[in-house]
Amino acid sequence: MALLINDLCVNCDVCAPVCPNAAITQGETIYEIAPSRCTECVGHYDEPQCVEVCPVECIFVDPEHVESREELLDKLRELQQEDA
């Protein structure tokens, strides 16, 4: 599953730098997570780093992008090949 930042985001700038897949970018009004790059930190960390650092707890599982752990690992492998 990809994660989603909701409108409680205060643009504090702490989530984007901790994302190992560069999935988080500044959107028009709040930060946004690209589902195609979000692996919920699977393969990097035990917990999603953006969720860990978010001071307002505005990052949740995106119900429109449900993926298993194996699918997230496959996505990570593809991203690593693209970024190589």
User: CA 53, CA 67: separation in Å to the nearest integer?
Assistant: 23
Q: Rounded distance, CA 56 to CA 46, Å?
A: 21
The structural domains of the chain, with segments of one domain joined by +, span 3-83
* Nearest-angstrom CA–CA distance, 39 and 79: 10
Q: What is the per-residue pLDDT for 16?
A: 98
Among the listed residues 42, 43, 63, 45, the one whose alpha carbon sits nearest the alpha carbon of residue 53: 45
pLDDT at residue 84 tops 90: no
pTM: 0.92
Question: Residue 9 — pLDDT band, cuts 50, 70, 90?
Answer: very high
Fold for the domain defined by 3-83:
Alpha-Beta Plaits (3.30.70)
HSE of 60, CA atoms in CB hemisphere, 13 A: 10
pLDDT in tens, 41-68: 999 999 999 999 999 999 999 999 999 9
Mean pLDDT of the chain: 96
